[in-house]
Amino acid sequence: MIRIQLPYHLQNLGGVGPEVTLGLEPPYTVRTVLTALEARYPALRSAIVDVHTGKRRPLIRFYVCQQDISHEGLDHPLPAAIIEGREPFLVIGAISGG
């Protein structure tokens, strides 16, 4: 099971807690994880990947195993620690704006 941690506002939007788990079949990429997340929680659709552009929203970042993979593209493969659920996939919103 893949663990995903979400920022506060997306927890409220999706009606979920700080961390959700998803069962997923290969391939294991950023794109497939987010697609599965949106399928399970439709209220989150377009909140992380803009449905109009197909790109990560600029004020959102992705971290895996303490590495920022935000600029690696949505088809970036996920490491074994994420796939096996030992580490969470972090979706982080920029801390800015007031």
Binding footprint of another protein on the chain (CB under 8 A): 7-10, 12-13, 15, 38-39, 42-43, 45-48, 50-52, 57, 59-60, 93-94, 97
Residue closer to another protein (CB basis): 65 or 92: 92
Please confirm whether the linkage preceding 27 is cis (ω < 30° from 0).
Answer: yes
Residue closer to another protein (CB basis): 16 or 83: 16
What does the block give as tokens for 36? 């599965």
Question: Rounded to the nearest whole angstrom, what is the least distance from the CB of residue 84 to another protein in the complex?
Answer: 27
